Structure 1
Amino acid sequence: MARRSIPRRTFLRGVGATLALPLLDAMVPALSAGTASAATPVRRLGYVFMPMGADMTRWTPPPGEKLDKLSFILDSLEPVKQYLTVVSNLELRNAYPGTHATSNAAFLSCARAKHTESNDYYLGTTVDQVAAREIGRQTQLPSLELSMDMMQTVGQCDNGYACVYQNNLSWSSPTTPLPAEAHPRIVFEMLFGEGGSKADRAAALRRRASLLDFVKDDLSRLNGELGAADRARVDQYLESVRDVERRVQKAMADVKDKSLPDLDRPVGVPASYAAHARLMFDLQLLAFQGDVTRVTTFQLARETSNRTYPEAGVADPHHALSHHGNDPDKVARMARINRFHVSLFAEYLQKLKSTPDGDGTLLDHTLLLYGSGMGNPNVHDHVNLPAIVAGGTAHGMKGGRHIRFEKTAPLANLHLTLLDKAGVRVEKFADSSGKIDGLFEPLGI
């Protein structure tokens, strides 16, 4: 290239705000001398937690290794089927005795939660934090922890377990849970605020109409260094940021017109669950696109959540339906909630697929695990867990398949395999017995 290259860690800056940029052609020469390039893209990991298991009869694909036909719960994933592998017959052995608290706590730790209602809780370092220590060192945020619910519950929540086990997916050590954020405005400030306390960043961002107005001078200077293709890519990215910002602002403006929110939803978020979830997924997409973080976790709802889902045509509280007593009507309604959650994940995958990143897309360069720490919630078991691996074709993910183990295998084996493909080399994770053969094609990495 005749024009000089710009560093990957280039930001547009304004007072109190900073905007990371997506990977541009103008960055590739600089990257080729460093640790990443178009040929060796940034590696990312994302984890999405679905509470209270699933109706596995409507989740599990028909027999066969190929995903020729998707099940009722998974059918919204059809447009991205070639990027998916459904993994069946995984188990969380350390989640027993079966509880909601241990389902949530063990999903990313595969560790046994200490039975306590006090503050002497003890679990294990979660897989996302193992990854963040390695692939998160070069980013603004080593990891991003998100949820859909407020963390208002304290004390004892489930069978003598402290609420901390249900409130937090991510733990940086056995005694350090990482609280997740459910408020889109706060997440936006985390991604695009610069320096100072949360209050300082929030005040700076609110002093102006738009983040993009605040960085327009820096943007003008940058455009002079970019080719036509890069300018178009930046314009597309900025429009995505603008769209998310508009939706965040609308949610805040709507607060005064709302009736009392449900107990699980923070004040100042979109009124509908789907609109809130889509916004939280889009914030993760922007975080990946701007390389603000390379590791995310997202809790679609807390275990024992009594949220209802009228958008899915289900008026019953989710937790009550999960204890269905094998009533066919209740099981069918629970399956509709499962299907609704999966449909939102499917939309996210399609957006990742349509977002360019280096020599492919964000979906090509991101490995995602969607699943639950519970199988059949009616009996609180932790075997035959619902689990989907998505994306990662640049890392050798085959996709379009269903892997079913004849004998139960530890969920930790899947975590260990995904860590390895993300470039995080560890010999063992929790109760793992080895990596999963056949999930990826060999790439010599």
Structure 2
Amino acid sequence: MVTAEKGSQMIVTKKSLPRRTFLRGMGTSLALPLLDAMIPSMTALASTPANPVQLRRLGFVYMPMGCDVSRWTPPGEQTLDELSPTLQPLSRVKQQVTAITNMELQNAYPGTHATSNAAFLSAAEAKRTESSDYYLGTTVDQIAAQQIGQSTQLPSLEMSMDLLSVVGQCDNGYACVYQNNLSWSSPTTPLPAEAHPRIVFESLFGAGGSAADRQAAIKKRASLLDSVTAEITRLQNTLGPQDRNKVDQYLQTIREVERRIQRAEVDVAENPLPDLDRPVGVPVAYADHARLMFDLQLLAMQGDITRVITFQLARETSNRTYPEIGVNDPHHPLTHHGNNPKKIAKVAKINQFHVSLFAEFLEKLQNTPEGNGSLLDHSLYLYGSGMGNPNVHDHTNLPILVAGGAAGNMQGGRHIKFNHPKPLADLHLTLLNKVGVKLDSFADSQGHVEGLFEPLDV
């Protein structure tokens, strides 16, 4: 049934809107956010305080080359009442964030950049090879995608910030494939990530055909939304005021993201000095690019286009500089700081900058209504690195955050600190179970992360 509001009354009609509703136009397939009209008010699917809508999503954000642990680790033993300097940007969302201290990746040793990236989601040992006979393990995101991703348009979405064209041997005898790819659908099948906002945008909202055909269609009509104007009008006439407002806000966000992509493409066309490290049409400033990629993730989840996302903030051994925050030194050399306080401070500044972009994203998720809560309430995100202290290439005491609500089950605002190193695979297993993927073990797991989803007793 479809519900439509009139004054203070609720009118119940005989039709409901399917969750997998699309507005279609030339070269366009536009998914819709979760609407009240998609939730039959007289069935068990109704959204109530006792029975919230539980569309669970699982996301992973990779921060390269570890951190300055002294500025990362929260001072509190159990709560996040006081944030560390690096985590300060999380202040407005800290009640839906948990920091976890003393997790490790034993299978990432002997200690390389390649294995840091490769083991982060697989917790597996990478075969040491410089050729194409690489071998790792199926990553946690792809295990989730096999179950919770099969009913969506895209089972999973792999994103990055770098144009990854490096091949061959990258790090102490390890093939570049280990550094280039976070996601592996099997031990021999890495999944390339996309750094270009336009290509991601088209993968979310394109209706098929070749990339050239989709691009030509977009240029012809100037905007993706132009081709579905009539469908939007028809839909809005069938919805109640609250649903119409949701659709309007969703479409405004899509149009704004598309405008920013178009602006970036114009800026690059007008710039006579190409940047070989940045894909054509990508915003010049790192933060603008990252925000655009995070906004695309929000749209992908809001439209239920995918429920599993991975995002690499930069690849291991990245020599990217961050002039927008006053760090003009390349990132990778800074991490081999030799205990130089000035270099360590710059690494910490980069760490805080990356966290600030993630915090902005979490705030947007928190401010996006869905069902009986927010998009953040119905999501889980793991943020962290496969390396601890980059100066010595270790894989213990990893910087790890978990954010979200997992449909009301996660208790945030805390700091879980283990007395002894605990496998990161334990956290992967815990997150899988919480989004409905039941496994007894994962990689070198020894159990679950206790306390992450239970009330805090202080």
- TM-score, shorter chain, exceeding 0.5: yes
**Structure 1 residue aligned with 2:371:** 358
Q: Offset of 1:395 from its aligned partner?
A: 4.0
Q: Contact 2:53/2:371 (CA < 8 Å) preserved in 1?
A: no
Residue 121 (1) aligns with residue 148 (2): no
**Structure 1 residue aligned with 2:75:** 62
Q: Show CA shifts across 1:128-175 (max 9, x none).
A: 000000100110000000000011100000000000000000000000
SS in 2 for 1:225: coil
Residue 24 (1) aligns with residue 35 (2): yes
Q: CA RMSD in A?
A: 1.6
Q: Offset of 1:393 from its aligned partner?
A: 5.1
Distance in 2 of aligned mates of 1:83 and 1:34: 25
Residues 43 and 216 from structure 1, CA distance in 2 versus in 1: closer, same or farther, beyond 3 angstroms? same
Residue 10 (1) aligns with residue 12 (2): no
Residue 385 (1) aligns with residue 398 (2): yes
**Structure 2 residue aligned with 1:131:** 144
Amino acid at match of 1:27: M
Distance in 2 of aligned mates of 1:259 and 1:351: 35
Counterpart of 2:203 (choices 186, 190, 195) is: 190
Distance in 2 of aligned mates of 1:433 and 1:259: 55
**Structure 2 residue aligned with 1:111:** 124
**Structure 2 residue aligned with 1:169:** 182
Q: Offset of 1:260 from its aligned partner?
A: 3.4
SS in 2 for 1:428: coil
Q: Which runs of 5+ in 2 are unaligned?
A: 4-11
Q: Contact 1:142/1:294 (CA < 8 Å) preserved in 2?
A: yes
Q: Show CA shifts across 1:273-299 (max 9, x none).
A: 000000000000000000000000000
**Structure 1 residue aligned with 2:382:** 369
Q: Contact 1:193/1:205 (CA < 8 Å) preserved in 2?
A: no
Q: Offset of 1:34 from its aligned partner?
A: 7.0
What's the % identity of the aligned pairs? Answer: 69
Residues 31 and 295 from structure 1, CA distance in 2 versus in 1: closer, same or farther, beyond 3 angstroms? farther
**Structure 1 residue aligned with 2:243:** 230
Q: Contact 1:22/1:234 (CA < 8 Å) preserved in 2?
A: yes
Q: Contact 2:40/2:46 (CA < 8 Å) preserved in 1?
A: no
Q: Which runs of 5+ in 1 are unaligned?
A: none
Distance in 1 of aligned mates of 2:170 and 2:46: 45
Residue 271 (1) aligns with residue 284 (2): yes
SS in 1 for 2:391: helix
Counterpart of 2:439 (choices 417, 426, 430) is: 426
Residues 35 and 236 from structure 1, CA distance in 2 versus in 1: closer, same or farther, beyond 3 angstroms? closer
Q: Offset of 1:35 from its aligned partner?
A: 11
Matches within 5 A, 1:134-153: 134-153=147-166
Matches within 5 A, 1:35-50: 39-50=52-63
Q: Offset of 1:201 from its aligned partner?
A: 2.3
Matches within 5 A, 1:407-418: 407-418=420-431
SS in 2 for 1:378: coil
Q: Contact 2:136/2:187 (CA < 8 Å) preserved in 1?
A: yes
Amino acid at match of 2:243: D
**Structure 2 residue aligned with 1:156:** 169
Counterpart of 1:299 (choices 285, 305, 312) is: 312
Distance in 2 of aligned mates of 1:35 and 1:210: 35
Q: Contact 2:406/2:434 (CA < 8 Å) preserved in 1?
A: no
Residue 321 (1) aligns with residue 334 (2): yes
Distance in 1 of aligned mates of 2:212 and 2:184: 25
Q: Contact 2:39/2:46 (CA < 8 Å) preserved in 1?
A: no
Instruction: Count residues in correspondence.
Output: 442
Residues 418 and 31 from structure 1, CA distance in 2 versus in 1: closer, same or farther, beyond 3 angstroms? farther
Q: Offset of 1:216 from its aligned partner?
A: 0.7
Q: Show CA shifts across 1:161-190 (max 9, x none).
A: 000000000000000000000000000000
**Structure 1 residue aligned with 2:346:** 333
Distance in 2 of aligned mates of 1:227 and 1:39: 20
Q: Contact 2:118/2:126 (CA < 8 Å) preserved in 1?
A: yes
Q: Contact 1:5/1:30 (CA < 8 Å) preserved in 2?
A: no
Distance in 1 of aligned mates of 2:253 and 2:219: 19
Q: Offset of 1:265 from its aligned partner?
A: 1.6
Amino acid at match of 2:193: A
Between 1:76-85 and 1:195-204, the stretch displaced more is: 195-204
Distance in 2 of aligned mates of 1:47 and 1:261: 31
Q: Contact 1:189/1:205 (CA < 8 Å) preserved in 2?
A: no
Q: Offset of 1:326 from its aligned partner?
A: 0.5
Counterpart of 1:211 (choices 214, 221, 224) is: 224
SS in 2 for 1:54: coil
Q: Contact 1:66/1:401 (CA < 8 Å) preserved in 2?
A: yes
**Structure 2 residue aligned with 1:436:** 449
Q: Contact 1:147/1:180 (CA < 8 Å) preserved in 2?
A: yes
Distance in 2 of aligned mates of 1:348 and 1:300: 13
Q: Offset of 1:225 from its aligned partner?
A: 1.1
Residue 102 (1) aligns with residue 115 (2): yes
